[in-house]
Structure 1
Amino acid sequence: MEKSHTLKRCAITLISILFIAFSMHAQTGFTEYNGKVIDGRSNKILEAASLNINATNISTITNSEGEFTLKVPNNYSNSKVIISLLGYNSYVVPLSELSTTDNTIKLYMAVTELSAVSISAYKDAESLVRKVFDDKNKNLEEASVLMTAFYRETIKRRNRNVSLTEAIVNILKQPISSDQRDAIQLGKARKSTDYTRLDTVSVKLQGGPFSTVYIDIMKYPEYIFTDQSIGTYNFSFDNPSTINNRNVYVINFSPKNSFQDVNYIGKLFIDVESLALVSANYSLDLSNKSKTKNLMVRKKPRDIEVYPLEANYKVDYKENGNKWYYSYSNLSLKFKINKKRELFNKVYTLASEMAVTDWEVNVADKKIKNKDKLKPSVIITDAISGFSDPDFWGEYNLIEPDKSIESAIDKIRKNIEKQKKREIKNSSNGKA
């Protein structure tokens, strides 16, 4: 089935990646701002809040602990930064009012009211969703776009981090009208994996940076909503919300029946004025274990069965000049691996996210050479030393690592160093 195939494209794997050094958006000097974003009333940390330099495409997002690092070229020092999050009023502050460290930015929840006329303009929620996809060419850029993005992938076994991959990539985002797939070029990258705790033989999962790019359902609607598949879902209006101080429709969707090979449940956030998709949050329906068993697995031994426990997806878009652009996406997959004749199963969680930190419309029609294009069939080379270098990323914006990830990398690095010492010692004893 086509949908079963596309799910595998949106799932994950351990892959190989060609390492290519480049800098598409080199900067001569920058200032780094650090801090956190919280709810102004509850002081709750706010994850995935967007920080964008006004009148530019330079941006970053907060991590799961609400923390951010924003690197701004010095020629924009007189600019303002816009902080926004779905359901909150945006906040605008001049860079001159921020310190370089320990900033605390408060956002306040927005009260959204849409008149009955606004909703009654559409006879039902499904007709609104169909219009969003039918009229997407009106809201999306007609030219290709060159993007710089930060990619992160983490793997956990049970609750313990065992692998972290980070990379700066260039994306050549093809126009919505093009049949060409987006191209990815790898720049700086680093990876740390504790292979003693990661069973890489039992199962290999499909994915990498392409997994997050393919969640862009406006460019790749075939992965979830086609003219035919829209009819297999129930759509309903939820309470409206706000993003960037603009009203958005909130549409719930769920499968009409469980007979499809792949079903999703989630929410769509649609800008009231432009009818552009602002955000989508959805999950794979995993209630039928017999149907989803081994669904996301590309290759495995015969004595292994893989059961997906969770599969969650998110994609965000940003508006600039009356056009909307892919901005951020993430996925989180949780698997249980059963092996015959073994008493205990193994549970892995793989989280993958991509945040666009700068972009430009490709007016010069630049290309990524075929030899430089990333392929989903290769793996990022281990580069343990990068994690001990605070200046590894230079001027590139990235997602601030969670404290749990930072501590995990320290443990992984120490374990690998111990393993190498043991190997050297055993090798020396063998020669003796």
Structure 2
Amino acid sequence: MKGIFTQKALFKSLFFLVFFQSGIAQNITGKITDSKTGEIIPYANIQVNSSESIISNAEGYFTLAEKNSSDETLLIISYLGYVPLQISVADLKKVQNNIKLTQGIVELDDVDISNEKPDAAKIMAKVKENLNKNYKNTQAKKDLIFVRHSSSFNPKKFDFEIDKSTVLSAKALKKTNDELNTFTKLLIAHPPQQFTDYLCNYYTIDTKKEDKPTVLSKLEVLKATILKNENRSASLDDLEKKFTDIILHNLDTTKYYRVKSGLFGSHDTISLGNKKKGKEKKKQLNSSKAYLDNYIRRNNIIDAKRLNFINKPEMYDYSYEGATYSSENKFVYVISFKPRKSKAKYSGKIYVSEDDYAVLRTDYTLEEGEKEASFNMKLLLGVKFSVNQSKGTLIYKENPIGEGYCMQYASLETGQYFYFNRPIKFIELAKGEKDVVKFDLKIEGSSKDKNEFMNIKREETSKATIENFKEEDFKFINIKKYDPTIWKNYSAIEPLQEMKQFKEVN
């Protein structure tokens, strides 16, 4: 019997090993580097079997979905200024999944159309003139999109104490303050971090509502995950819930309250009772669609305020840096820019197609000392806030279902500083309003957000299809650590090391 058991155990072990190795073999992760320098090439385009497009991440890596990992799969890798490379997955394996791109024959500094350098300001004027022609896509479309949002909250000072409570006994008040103290110490010791991924079909068409132009959008989420530490708060919503649980659980849920901070009071009524179920309908869907609608609008090259270095060129100084060729063998101007007027805040580079003056790519960053937004009433109100970090990359590709271009990839990283030092009261709405809970909140620190958007595939659809599509809510899959297999059946952005190394802290 012992021998039989050993054979069975051996068979199972071998079966598991073979199966596991087979599964791993189907997960193909590649790295893209410069053939001469060995430097990584971030945000390179990888066309998969001429049907989907993905982008290498900021560290130069990309991963193929399991369905695209067979040896016969054909990849075309391209990047501005480099010779496009066509390679099969079988050949990719032979080079240990390391793709080396060769710089094009044309060097940036050596290319001039004539003896005189092109006028960068005139080129940008042409870009503005052709924005609607190049980027206004009015047709009904279905985009397969992958979105990643990461956020971190880093308080360096966090004091939160209840000074007065008419509903808590002295013992309960001490216990609640101890809980608050433990909670704030945990936040400082282990700053919260969260990664949200989702893959979706995003249906849009330009239309009119009450004779005003608008965009009709529908969202179908195919898969969504949240990676965060459940023992720590990671977002403002989480913080709000945590504070509510700690402070307000002793208040009467049948009564109503308003909030007052210093001289300022809220006219909004707060109830601690259970919300009606009807209001929760499609909660995740609605918030995710609002986020995606807003993100696309904020990256609209035609009129986004943050992109005024493209749509309001009179605000910037431009310099011609040279030229290169695109993967489609288009001649491309390389133009640098920096602020000229006070409302101009960014510097960076723009890559412009010579034949139609379309922006193919731009990399931009907030100028040192500039702020995208700020509010400073620290002395008077005890409040200060500023968006003091901001940088992004936008990449466009030719619209596969019509004329012009569409956004293929967008990355936006922002950093905020905050300071809040104010007393806050919860006041019961009853005869002769009375203070119920009064506490002091002092918090100072920073937060960071990174948003990434990748358009994998665009297909033509119809207005009727979009109007008749029935949206359904979805649930996020909560994960405690990075799992490389969770997206193996889908095209996605390869995570950075920061996300791969994330682990739960108790």
TM-score using structure 1 length: 0.70
Matches within 5 A, 1:174-323: 174=205, 179-181=213-215, 183=217, 185=219, 186-194=221-229, 196=232, 198=234, 200=236, 208-221=291-304, 224-225=307-308, 229-244=312-327, 245-258=329-342, 260=343, 263-285=345-367, 287-288=369-370, 292-294=373-375, 303-319=382-398, 323=404
C-alpha displacement of 1:208: 3.7
CA contact (8 A) 1:331 1:353 kept: yes
In the TM superposition, what is the alpha-carbon distance from 1:197 to its structure 2 partner?
5.3
Output the CA distance in 2 between the equivalents of 1:224 and 1:43: 32
Mapped partners of 1:314, 1:308: distance in 2: 18
Other-structure match for 1:99? 93
Q: What's the CA shift for 1:388?
A: 6.4
In structure 2, the partner of 1:151 is: 147
Q: Provide the secondary structure at the position in 2 that maps to 1:42.
A: coil
Structure 1 residues 129 and 390, CA gap change in structure 2 (3 angstroms) = same
Is residue 334 from structure 1 mapped to residue 370 from structure 2 by the alignment?
A: no
- CA root-mean-square deviation: 4.1
Contact 1:191 1:381 in 2 (8 A): no
Contact 1:176/1:219 (<8 A) preserved: no
**1:117 partner amino acid:** S
Larger Rg: 2
| Contact 1:212/1:353 (<8 A) preserved | no
In structure 2, what is the equivalent of residue 8 of structure 1? none
- Per-residue deviation, 1:80: 2.9
On the 8 A contact 1:249/1:269 being kept in 2, the answer is yes
Partners in 2 of 1:126 and 1:388 — Cα distance? Answer: 46
Identity value in percent: 20
Q: Give the Cα separation in 2 of the matches to 1:332 and 1:209.
A: 16
Range moving further from structure 2, 159-168 or 345-354? 159-168
CA positional deviation for 1:340:
2.9
**Equivalent runs, 1:342-353 vs 2, <5 Å:** 345-353=444-452
Q: Distance in 1 between matches of 2:216 and 2:367?
A: 28
1:115 pairs with 2:146: no
> After superposition, what is the alpha-carbon deviation per residue over 1:199-227, rounded to whole angstroms, capped at 9, x for unaligned?
72789xx9843454235433545653499
Contact (CA 8 Å) 2:301, 2:310: kept in 1 or not? no
> SS of the counterpart of 1:293?
strand
- In the other structure, the counterpart of 2:199 is 168
**Structure 1 gap ranges (5+):** 1-30, 296-301, 375-379, 419-432
Q: CA deviation at 1:399?
A: 0.8
1:69 lines up with 2:168 in the alignment: no
Contact 1:270 1:279 in 2 (8 A): yes
1:277 and 1:229, CA in 2 relative to 1: closer, same or farther beyond 3 A? closer
Give, in angstroms, the shift of residue 337 of structure 1. Answer: 1.8
Change (3 A) 1:85 1:373: farther
> Residue 383 in 1 paired to residue 477 in 2?
yes
Q: How does 1:368-407 map to 2 (within 5 A)?
A: 372=471, 383-385=477-479, 390-393=484-487, 395-407=489-501
Matched residues, number? 365
Q: Between 348-357 and 384-393, report the one with greater CA deviation.
A: 384-393
Whole-angstrom distance in 1 between the partners of 2:310 and 2:324: 27
Contact 1:60 1:355 in 2 (8 A): yes
| 1:72 to partner: Cα distance | 7.1
For structure 2, the residue ranges without an aligned partner over 5 or more in a row are 1-25, 155-189, 241-287, 423-440
Cα distance per residue 1:110-132 (max 9 Å; x no partner): 32443333976x6x323322322
Q: Contact conserved, 1:145 with 1:359, CA < 8 A, in 2?
A: yes
Q: 1:394 to 1:44 in 2, by over 3 A?
A: closer
Partner of 1:18: none
Cα distance change of structure 1 residues 221 and 133 upon mapping to structure 2, 3 Å threshold: farther
Say if 2:112 and 2:322, in contact at 8 Å, map to a contact too. Answer: no
Q: TM-score, normalised by structure 2?
A: 0.61
C-alpha displacement of 1:52? 0.7
Secondary structure of the 2:341 match is coil
1:358-369 → structure 2 map (5 Å cutoff): 358-362=457-461, 366-367=465-466
1:105 is paired with a residue whose SS is: strand
Q: Is the helix fraction higher in 1 or 2?
A: 2
Letter in 1 for 2:37: S
Match of 2:128 in 1: 133
**C-alpha spacing 1:396/1:182, structure 2 compared with 1 (3 Å):** farther
Aligned-residue offset at 1:392:
3.4
Q: Which secondary structure does the structure 1 equivalent of 2:127 belong to? A: helix
Kept in 2, the 8 Å contact 1:184–1:373? The answer is no
Equivalent pair of 2:144/2:201 in contact (CA under 8 Å): yes
